[in-house]
Amino acid sequence: MDPDVHRDVLEAAEAEGVSVSAWMTNAARRALLARDGLAAVTEWETEHGAFSEAELEAARRRVTAQVGTTSRRSTRRSA
């Protein structure tokens, strides 16, 4: 592993209060979910055509709202 990445992983795991193994498992899980989501989008667009700008903007707003909610929940839990 790249030394800079290793250092950052150690710091992130410590900051989140989890083991490096748990942190890496969570990071891998998120990466796999993102990959699966992107594959699903590609499959949908292949069958139905590309998303419109309006659809993409609506999706951005929805994700931003969900990420904001998740961040607020995480902050409350760690306090």
Position 7 scores a pLDDT of 97
Position 78 scores a pLDDT of 46
Looking at the predicted structure, is the pLDDT value of residue 79 above 80? Answer: no
Confidence label for 5 from pLDDT (cuts 50, 70 and 90): very high
The answer to whether 20 touches 13, Cβ cutoff 8 Å, is yes
Cβ-proximal residues to 22 (8 Å cutoff; 6+ apart), any chain: 13
Looking at the predicted structure, is the pLDDT value of residue 22 above 60? Answer: yes
